[in-house]
């Protein structure tokens, strides 16, 4: 029997430069209150519809708040490329930003889910948000793997 169940989420971010070198960072995230509320609704028979759909990039470095529902200043969105749910309680979602896309100084990243999430900024349920300072130029592509894992004890 499982007595405790927790959630861990993090991003694996790989910058691939045109000169051939790569840089990888792992950044833990905060799950928003609205995402937790929607997840708990499943116990009451309410469909939370939390399918991950978009990675959003923004330029605001405002502190993360558990009640955030949008990025501070969203400038770009991209749909997920692949997703994988393993038998070990781990779910991964991958995203990519091409060299010509989202050229700016990034300060924040967010994951948006649900049927209301579209290519339009500030739509959907924000699952998580991180601060991530990155100078994105047209000389770099960025790959993102979002990992969600159940921790059981």
Q: Quote the mean pLDDT of the chain.
A: 90
**pLDDT tens string 87-143:** 677 889 999 999 999 999 999 999 999 999 999 999 999 999 999 999 999 999 999
Distance CA 50, CA 73 (A): 23
Q: Closest by alpha carbon to 9, among 61, 50, 63?
A: 50
What is the pLDDT, as a whole number, of residue 153? 63
pLDDT over 60 (residue 1) = no
The more confident residue out of 152 and 72 is 72
Percent of the chain with pLDDT over 70: 95
**pLDDT tens string 16-46:** 999 999 999 999 988 888 887 877 777 777 7
The more confident residue out of 41 and 57 is 57
What is the pLDDT, as a whole number, of residue 70? 97
**Contact, 52 vs 127, CB < 8 A?**
yes
DSSP 62: P
């Amino acid at each position: 029997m499982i007595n405790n169940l927790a959630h861990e989420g993090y991003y694996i971010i790989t910058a691939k430069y045109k000169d051939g070198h790569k840089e990888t960072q792992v950044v833990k995230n905060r799950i928003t209150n609205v995402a937790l509320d929607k997840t708990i609704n499943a116990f009451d028979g309410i469909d939370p519809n939390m399918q991950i759909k978009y990675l959003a990039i923004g330029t605001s470095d405002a502190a993360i708040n558990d009640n955030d529902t949008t990025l501070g200043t969203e400038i770009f969105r991209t749909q997920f490329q692949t997703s994988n749910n393993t038998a070990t309680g781990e779910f991964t979602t991958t995203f990519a930003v091409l060299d010509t896309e989202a050229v700016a100084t990034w300060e924040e990243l967010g994951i948006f889910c649900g049927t209301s999430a579209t290519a339009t900024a500030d739509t959907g349920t924000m699952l998580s948000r991180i601060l991530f300072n990155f100078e994105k130029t047209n000389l770099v592509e960025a790959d993102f793997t979002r990992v969600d894992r159940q921790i059981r004890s």
